[in-house]
Amino acid sequence: MEKLRQLINVAFKKHRKLVFVAIILLILGFWGWRTFISPRTQQPQYQTAQVERETIVSSISASGQILSSNVMNVTTGTSGIVKQVFVSNGDKVTKGDKIAEIELDSAGQQRNASAWSSYLSAKNSLEAAQAKINSFQAAAFKANQTFINDAVARSLTTNDPTYIQENALWLQAEADYKNQGNVITQAQATLNNAWLSYQQSSPTITSPAFSIVENITIAPGMIIGAQSITSTNGQTTSSQTIAVIRSEGNPLASFNFSEIDVTKIKIGQKTTVTVDALSGKTFTGKVVAMDKIGQVVSNVTNYPVLIQLDTNSEDLLPNMAASASVIIETKDNALFVPSQAVQTENNQTTVRVVKRGQIESVPVEVGITGDQGVEIIPASPNRGESGVSEGDEVVVGTVATGQQRGTSSFGGFGSFGGGALRPGGFGGGSRGGGGMQQR
């Protein structure tokens, strides 16, 4: 051990300058590592927003399409060459106004003559039924008088043969009279149907109602021919659409809501509607009908809700894709915080509030929820409750620290713009939107 100590002393005396240099290099290296290489511990930075008073709108949304509403097809069942068109798109017409004139071909003439013959036959049947009812009425009256003046007048018992016979004849005559009324009703319906068939085969096409003409599909010289269409009940009809007429009225749209949302919808609720093809335009409307039975498609139940728009637009066309937001509830002058500021854990809802440069978790009671924000119900000092007040700064996000500087970590429902709070102070906040409208 004594020899080792002597050896160290000799080496230290010979290389004293070298040892001092090594010690200085070690000190400088440690200082540089701590200053430039070692990760620095940073205090967390927060993004904040200010508590404000807003009008909060709670709504539910669904997709759907514009319906073919207030429109009627003008059709013809004839065939031939278009001789003349009397109207243009945009013209106003009344019921019975001429739309077009057709020069019938042989098939069209035969169809028109057959329809006229059916109409005349139906008309004769109706007149015969109306005339026949008079005889039934007379027979019923006569049988009633016989029964009253004989069986009743003589006070015959109900089991007397004369009473039974006269009463039966009266009841039968009365039934024949009533049944003839049904025959007349049926004959009238047959006559109406025959007249409509004749109009379909007529060379003169007229407007069925007061309206505006749209979408004319024929022109003079054009050959038209009725197309046979078989309906679900097996009946075959022949017709061709030559124009569309639109009556006054606001458009309708249908939207499919989920089984969770449809329970919140009521007739008369206000809505906003946007159409995919009409960017930048928003239409208002209201709920006018809803299907509570629903439709099941691919094991998913949807409930169609009918919405009528408050205004019409020439740009709105049937079958356009659209989206609707039904306003469920609104709250005026309500305390409002962004959704990201609200945290719930163990059935306790809290908001982190900036007070004197420090973060404090404050319990709150929430009200309605908008698209991107939440109502905070004011606290009652008499009950010793906590809460937030208008103008308070609340935390809506946290900026990550350490080696991940420059990235953000947010709580709540998503990111939210705002100022960054640093130790000793905080930046200005930003206000939430999306379903919230400033008063």
pLDDT-derived band of residue 421, with 50, 70 and 90 as boundaries? very low
pLDDT of residue 297: 82
Report CA 173 to chain centroid distance, whole Å: 58
* Better-predicted residue by pLDDT, 51 or 255: 255
Q: With a cut of 70, say whether residue 7 has pLDDT above it.
A: no
72-86, 272-286, 382-396: segment of lowest average pLDDT: 382-396
* Better-predicted residue by pLDDT, 86 or 430: 86
31-45, 348-362, 410-424: segment of lowest average pLDDT: 410-424
Half-sphere exposure of 208 (CA within 13 A, CB side): 15
pLDDT of residue 144: 93
Highest mean pLDDT: which range of 13-27, 389-403, 411-425: 389-403
pLDDT-derived band of residue 435, with 50, 70 and 90 as boundaries? very low
Q: With a cut of 80, say whether residue 227 has pLDDT above it.
A: no
Q: With a cut of 70, say whether residue 407 has pLDDT above it.
A: no
Q: Which of 329, 320, 250 is nearest to 288 (CA)?
A: 250
pLDDT of residue 376: 84
pLDDT-derived band of residue 420, with 50, 70 and 90 as boundaries? very low
| Rounded-to-integer distance, Cα 293 and Cα 302, Å | 9
| Rounded-to-integer distance, Cα 255 and Cα 286, Å | 12
17-21, 247-251, 359-363, 372-376: segment of lowest average pLDDT: 17-21
Residues 365 and 329: beta-carbon distance below 8 Å:
no
What pLDDT, in 10s, does the model give residues 303-317?
999 999 998 887 888
Report CA 256 to chain centroid distance, whole Å: 6
Residues 224 and 242: beta-carbon distance below 8 Å:
yes
Q: What percent of the chain has pLDDT over 70?
A: 77
Q: With a cut of 80, say whether residue 335 has pLDDT above it.
A: yes
Residues 305 and 262: beta-carbon distance below 8 Å:
yes
pLDDT of residue 9: 65
Diameter of the chain measured on Cα atoms: 165
Q: With a cut of 50, say whether residue 429 has pLDDT above it.
A: no
When pLDDT is averaged across residues 214-229 and rounded to a whole number, the result is 81
pLDDT of residue 125: 93
What pLDDT, in 10s, does the model give residues 18-43?
666 677 777 777 766 666 655 555 56
pLDDT-derived band of residue 1, with 50, 70 and 90 as boundaries? low
pLDDT of residue 426: 37
> 393-399 and 408-409 as β-strands: parallel, antiparallel, unpaired?
antiparallel
Q: With a cut of 50, say whether residue 425 has pLDDT above it.
A: no
Q: 3-class secondary structure for the chain? A: CHHHHHHHHHHHHHCHHHHHHHHHHHHHHHHHHHHHHCCCCCCCEEEEEECEEEEEEEEEEEEEEECCCCEEEEEECCCEEEEEECCCCCCEECCCCEEEEEEECHHHHHHHHHHHHHHHHHHHHHHHHHHHHHHHHHHHHHHHHHHHHHHHCCCCCCCCHHHHHHHHHHHHHHHHHHHHHHHHHHHHHHHHHHHHHHHHHCCEEECCCCEEEECCCCCCCCEECCEEEECCCCCEEEEEEEEEEECCCCCEEEEEEECCCHHHCCCCCEEEEEECCCCCCEEEEEEEEECCCCEEECCEEEEEEEEEECCCCCCCCCCCEEEEEEEEEEEEEEEEEEHHHEEEECCEEEEEEEECCEEEEEECEEEEECCCEEEEECCCHHHCCCCCCCCCEEEEEEECCHHHCCCEECCCCCCCCCEEEECCECCCCCCCCCCEECC
pLDDT-derived band of residue 373, with 50, 70 and 90 as boundaries? confident
Instruction: Kindly report each contact of residues 163-166 with a partner whose C-beta sits within 8 Å and lies 24 or more positions away, as own/partner.
Output: none
Q: With a cut of 60, say whether residue 281 has pLDDT above it.
A: yes
Burial (CB count <10 Å: 0-12, 13-18, 19+), residue 236: exposed
